[in-house]
């Protein structure tokens, strides 16, 4: 990338990698296996309009211009959000990053240039389909996205592995779609962190309730990893005005993901379905050791209220069946070996998002992985993901 402007010069900073057995630089003959466990598709704007039944067209996600000329992102189930900027409002490296990723052949070249051997691909625009409360509408959109994703990335699945979108408010439809995408060849699914978008009511459906055991049984039987991306359970754009961009990213996007993982660990879901493997995506990893300790503390100290009684501590299920992805999280990485989470943390470059590290992933990795042992570094960069998602690279 040629236009490394002043705002992005920090991305080039690196302390080097003295003593590392391998390299993270793409031109090295002795490079680590590197798999980005969180990257994003760049979908055609007319993807849904071309593939979804016409009776749904007036409800599809869209950009609407008001009488003042302001653009608004309209999504069923979400509050209208002002369209803040277009690509022409960006400059330098930020503009270049915002304009790439739509062509799979280009993706392969870009990821090779960043040292990435394989990537897990999530929607960019269309994870918002989880927001609607209408199952028929949600699954019409999900099937359209999944078909497009497989047509686009399936020929390159050994390096570009898309996750199939599975809404979960209707369990029968979810199971039907899981079985369909499995036949297509998908190697994983992505579900919302809450089955009912925005819900915090104890009376609403949630993943620990008995009726969801059919879904977990289907997923366990499929052998597909289950991923859940931040921002899919509620609208994270909660704080407006000063500090909103940071607070929403740090707090409001993450909280439902913590709820999702702790619920699966403490409710007995993971105990009943030991074959499940669950990944929290773009949530960072620093909270994993804290969450494990906090769950165990609550389970022990609140023994008079805690149920069900588990065969192991909640943190044991977090360590053995759960994973989380990060881009840059040196604090979380510093806790990995001490607290037993070396095999739970998955690296990503979040291509092509601004918060990612592409195309300067080598520098980003060297900034944060110096304290890790050689074995742990290799696991986090790619070896764990290689086994989890079935890559042959």
User: For the chain, what are the domain ranges?
Assistant: 15-55+101-389
Closest CA to 48 of 119, 127, 101, 120: 127
Q: What is the pLDDT of residue 383?
A: 99
* Dihedral over Cα of 112, 189, 94, 44: its sign: positive
Distance CA 326, CA 285 (A): 6
Q: What is the CA radius of gyration of the chain?
A: 21
- Start-end of H helices in the chain: 47-51, 92-98, 104-113, 135-153, 171-184, 213-222, 244-247, 255-266, 269-272, 287-301, 314-321, 330-336, 361-368, 374-378, 384-389
Q: What is the pLDDT of residue 98?
A: 66
Q: Are 393 and 117 in contact (CB under 8 A)?
A: yes
Q: What is the pLDDT of residue 88?
A: 65
Q: What is the pLDDT of residue 125?
A: 87
pTM of the predicted model as reported, rounded to 2 decimal places: 0.94
Q: Are 231 and 291 in contact (CB under 8 A)?
A: no
* Dihedral over Cα of 172, 62, 193, 143: its sign: positive
Q: Are 153 and 260 in contact (CB under 8 A)?
A: no
Q: What angle in degrees, to the nearest 10, is found between the helix axes of 171-184 and 135-153? A: 10
Q: What is the pLDDT of residue 245?
A: 80
Low-confidence ranges of the chain (pLDDT < 50): none
Q: Are 368 and 334 in contact (CB under 8 A)?
A: no
H helices then E strands: how many in the chain?
15, 12
Q: What is the pLDDT of residue 202?
A: 66
Distance CA 137, CA 78 (A): 15
Looking at domain 15-55+101-389, which of 3.30.450.30, 3.40.50.300, 3.40.1260.10, 3.20.20.140 is its CATH number? 3.20.20.140
Q: What is the dihedral of CA 210, 211, 217, 218, to 10 degrees?
A: -170
Distance CA 125, CA 165 (A): 12
CB atoms within 10 A of CB 25: 17
Q: Are 46 and 66 in contact (CB under 8 A)?
A: no
Q: What is the pLDDT of residue 2?
A: 59
């Amino acid at each position: 990338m040629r236009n490394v402007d002043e705002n992005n010069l920090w991305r080039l900073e690196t302390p080097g990698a003295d003593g590392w057995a391998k390299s993270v630089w793409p031109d090295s003959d002795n490079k680590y296996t590197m798999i980005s466990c969180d990257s994003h598709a760049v979908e055609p704007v007319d993807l849904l309009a071309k593939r979804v039944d016409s009776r749904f067209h007036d409800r599809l996600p869209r950009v609407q211009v008001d009488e003042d000329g302001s653009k608004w992102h309209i999504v069923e189930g979400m509050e209208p959000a002002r369209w803040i900027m277009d690509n022409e409002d960006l400059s330098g490296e930020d503009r270049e990053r915002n304009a790439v990723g739509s062509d799979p052949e280009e993706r392969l070249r870009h990821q090779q240039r960043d040292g990435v051997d394989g990537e897990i691909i999530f929607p960019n625009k269309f994870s918002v389909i989880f927001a609607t409360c209408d199952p028929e509408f949600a699954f019409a959109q999900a099937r359209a996205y999944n078909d497009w994703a497989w047509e686009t990335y399936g020929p390159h699945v050994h390096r570009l592995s898309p996750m199939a979108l599975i809404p979960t408010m209707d369990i029968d439809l979810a199971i039907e779609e899981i079985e369909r995408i499995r036949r297509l060849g998908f190697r994983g699914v992505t579900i919302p962190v809450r089955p009912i978008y925005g819900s915090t009511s104890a009376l609403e459906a949630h993943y620990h309730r008995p009726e969801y055991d059919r879904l977990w049984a289907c997923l366990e039987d499929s052998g597909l990893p289950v991923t859940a991306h931040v921002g899919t359970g509620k609208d994270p754009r909660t704080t407006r005005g000063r500090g909103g961009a940071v607070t929403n990213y740090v707090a409001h996007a993450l909280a439902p993901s913590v709820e999702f993982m702790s619920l699966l660990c403490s409710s007995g879901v993971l105990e009943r379905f030991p074959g499940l493997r669950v990944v929290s995506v773009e949530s960072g990893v620093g909270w994993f050791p804290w969450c494990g300790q906090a769950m165990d503390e609550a389970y022990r100290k609140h023994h008079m209220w805690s149920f069900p009684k588990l065969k192991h501590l909640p943190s044991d299920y977090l360590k053995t069946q759960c994973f989380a992805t990060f881009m840059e999280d040196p604090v979380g990485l510093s806790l990995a070996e001490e607290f037993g989470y070396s095999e739970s943390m998955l690296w990503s470059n979040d291509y092509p998002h601004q918060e990612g590290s592409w195309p300067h992933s080598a520098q980003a990795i060297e900034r944060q992985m110096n304290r890790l042992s050689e074995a742990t570094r290799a696991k986090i960069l790619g070896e764990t993901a290689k086994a989890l998602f079935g890559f042959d690279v």
